[in-house]
Amino acid sequence: MFEPDDLLVALTAANVEFVVIGGVAVGVHGFVRATKDLDIVPDPSPENLTRLAQLLEKIDAQHVGIEDFSPEEFPYDPTDPAQLAEGANFRLVTSHGPLDIMQWVSGVEADHAYTELAKQALTIRFREAEIRVCGIEHLRAMKKAAGREQDLTDLGELSSAKC
């Protein structure tokens, strides 16, 4: 089972600003379940994307499944801040585990998902740092929009959450 702790420690130590979404956020809101990756939405500021790109290089981030696809299918390099700024989403494997970087998210109607998510994000203590986790209404909207089997299960569990 994947444990996101090492990735969260690395991100916070690098001073990367982000909002956690996905399975980890579901757990924070009361439905703890296994997850296969850490999903984050980074602050799109140039300074933050530079810190994120530097960290991704340090933790050896690579596109998931790149050997099964042509390079044209993954046109952006996540270790280049300028290419991160293009706003693409990335599915990566790192030395600390799988990481999805989402800059646009179904169910969040905004040019920059981070800006919208940050408005309602919860700040929680994690080890020696604080991390931001998307609010319950945004999480429900994302799960509804995605509509996959796991998302619908999560949505059912989140319907009773009082966060």
List, for residues 142-156, the tens digit of each pLDDT value. 988 888 888 878 888
Q: Is residue 161 part of a domain?
A: no
Does residue 57 form part of some domain?
yes
In a domain, residue 162? The reply is no
Number of domain units in the chain: 1
* Count of beta carbons in the 10 Å neighbourhood of residue 148: 9
Identify the CATH number of the domain in which residue 95 sits: 3.30.460
Which of 97, 114, 127, 120 minimizes the C-alpha distance to 48? Answer: 114
What range does the domain containing 112 cover?
5-156
Q: Is residue 122 part of a domain?
A: yes
Question: What is this structure's pTM?
Answer: 0.88
In this structure, is residue 163 part of a structural domain? no
Residue 118, classed as helix, strand or coil, is helix
pLDDT band at 3 (very low <50, low <70, confident <90, very high): confident
| Model confidence pLDDT, tens digit, residues 17-75 | 999 999 899 989 987 787 889 999 999 999 999 999 999 999 999 988 655 555 555 66
What's the CA gap between 89 and 5, in Å, rounded? 21
